[in-house]
Structure 1
Amino acid sequence: MGERIRGGGKVGQRVSGLAVALGMVLFLGGFVWGAVVYRPYTVPTPSMTPTIDVGDRVLAHRVDGGDVRRGDVVVFNDKSWVSNAPVVKRVVAVGGDTVACCTHGKLTVNGKQIDEPYLAAGTPAEIMNFPKVTVPKGRLFLLGDERQGSLDSTAHLTDAARGTVDESAVTARVDAVVWPMKGMLARPTGFEPLGALSEPGPLRSVVTVIVAGAVLVLAGGAYGPIAKRASRRSRPAARTEPAGVR
């Protein structure tokens, strides 16, 4: 019986070791995966309030500018806007679209009024009223969610590109605000009738892999102390004989 207990203990130790090893692979692999596909940014201005407040830390999925869709919040670099600094804005129109503001207080894209629930409550889109713009192929028209003070495409309408930005300037698409922990950005369904929205990046999968790895490491590491305690409880008490009995 004692041999079986010892054998079972060895098997348990092996399983525990495998759990810890696999957990470390998943835990570290998840962080490496995240570092490869995501970039962290700190947003320095309130131009994307209330979606992203000044000082918020975001994770942005590295994407090609050609994969950007209406409603995406993107990170881009355009030296005609800000030299050598990334900018975060929302794409409201892509190449071939006609965008204008406003009709009944709403932004219009290709003649359709767009519901924008990400704007601050009671904020009419018309506070950034601008004339109709047709976006050239391969370019994007971008606005801040804080329409009154955002230096976005409307601030560059007199430029040769009419405020549009080349798709190649986009480096990433924001998936989530991680500090403070606001979570994944809501899907901009107001743009859905105009075409397919972007699918979010693999952030949830990355987090799942990291959490699963941590659980395996903790469970495997806890096996030894738990097994020892269980072994002590299962040992029969030592017999004692009355004095003088042989």
Structure 2
Amino acid sequence: MPGSDRPRHGAGARPERRPFRGWRFVLSALLIAVVLASVLRATVVDIYFIPSASMQPLLEEGDRVLVSRLDGEPERGDVVVFDGRGSFDPISGGGPGELLGTVGHWLGVSGSDTVYVKRILGVGGDTVACCSPDGQLEVNGNPLDEPYVFPSDAPSDQQFEVEVPQGKLWVMGDHRSDSFDSRSLLGAPGGGLVSTDRVLGRAVQIVWPPSRSGPIERFTDHRP
């Protein structure tokens, strides 16, 4: 009708815009980014939140470190991040608390109840013992120089001698008096030894806070 205010939908009319299409694109892009980040973190490099003081003075509580998954076989002296289930922890039964912890760990804002960071002191075939007449740890009868140990800490207040089977690792924190590590599980099933296939990667870089940012060097003095 002449003078009608009704919109025309005939030829040449512009289609109505649908805001949902824009949101759908954004959500798809975010999903793709999350998937790519997950693949990258599962195969190349991950990030780990340091939840305790067990690796002081090298790592402080609250630090975030990059973890390389491409370093090959773990070596004596390396600082590694590993899944402690089956060695340091029983297999978890799951549940909402574990899910929230996993999300926080993935975002790098909290630690994990089953993931640990320690230094390798013994690999398959080694005999690790405490202590030499001078109070040093010994590997295969050779005393270790350990400048990374927390000042005023002894190499170990606990006496032990362990033969490390092939495929296993003996690990300890640098803050020896404040570290739950292989020594804590002597006499328990598995004896505190970590399977090499549980190692998630080597800590290679402190990325947060910026004031502490820097590389984590490999301690080559402990290599064969």
Match of 2:155 in 1: 125
8 Å CA contact 2:50, 2:61 repeated in 1: yes
TM-aligned CA deviation for residue 161 of structure 1: 2.1
Q: Deviations over 1:3-40 (max 9, x none)?
A: xxxxxxxxxxxxxxxxxxxxxxxxxxxx9897552100
* CA positional deviation for 1:85: 2.2
**Is 1:42 aligned to residue 72 of structure 2?**
no
1:91: which partner in 2?
120
Which residues of structure 1 form unaligned runs of 5+?
A: 1-30, 196-246
Question: What is the CA deviation profile of residues 148-198 of structure 1, one whole-angstrom value per residue up to 9, with x for unaligned ones?
Answer: 121100001112322211111111110011112331113313313xx2xxx
- Aligned partners of 1:189 and 1:73: how far apart in 2? 12
Show the counterpart of 1:70: 76
Inter-partner Cα distance in structure 2 for 1:56 and 1:89: 14
Structure-1 separation of matches of 2:77 and 2:174: 11
2:216 is aligned with 1:185: yes
Q: Is 1:148–2:177 an aligned residue pair? A: yes
Q: Distance in 2 between matches of 1:108 and 1:155?
A: 18
Deviates more, 1:142-151 or 1:153-162: 153-162
Match of residue 168 from structure 2: 139
Identity of matched residues, %: 41
Unaligned runs of 5+ in 2: 1-35, 93-112
Secondary structure (helix, strand or coil) at the match of 2:222 reads helix
Q: Does the Cα contact within 8 Å between 2:130 and 2:161 map onto a contact in 1?
A: yes
- Name the structure with the higher helix share: 1
Total equivalences in the alignment: 161
- 1:126/1:85 CA distance change after superposition, 3 Å: closer
The TM-score with structure 1 as length reference comes to 0.60
SS at match of 1:55: coil
* Structure 1 contact 116–188 (Cα < 8 Å) conserved: no
SS of 1:190's partner is helix
**Which SS does the other structure have where 1:126 is aligned?**
coil
Alpha-carbon distance in 2 for matches of 1:142, 1:77: 13
Aligned to 2:58: 51
The 2-side partners of 1:34 and 1:114 are apart by 36
Partner letter of residue 176 of structure 2? R
Q: State the one-letter code of the partner of 2:76.
A: R
Amino acid aligned to 2:81:
V
- Residue of structure 2 equivalent to 1:173: 202
Helix, strand or coil for the counterpart of 1:148? helix
SS of equivalent residue, structure 1 residue 124? coil
Give the TM-score taking structure 2 as reference length: 0.66
Aligned 8 A contact 2:131 2:138 in 1: yes
Structure having greater relative contact order (Cα 8 Å, sep ≥ 6): 1
State the SS of the aligned residue for 2:188: coil
Q: Could you tell me how far 1:51 is from its partner in structure 2?
A: 0.8
Distance between the aligned counterparts of 1:190 and 1:101, measured in 2?
18
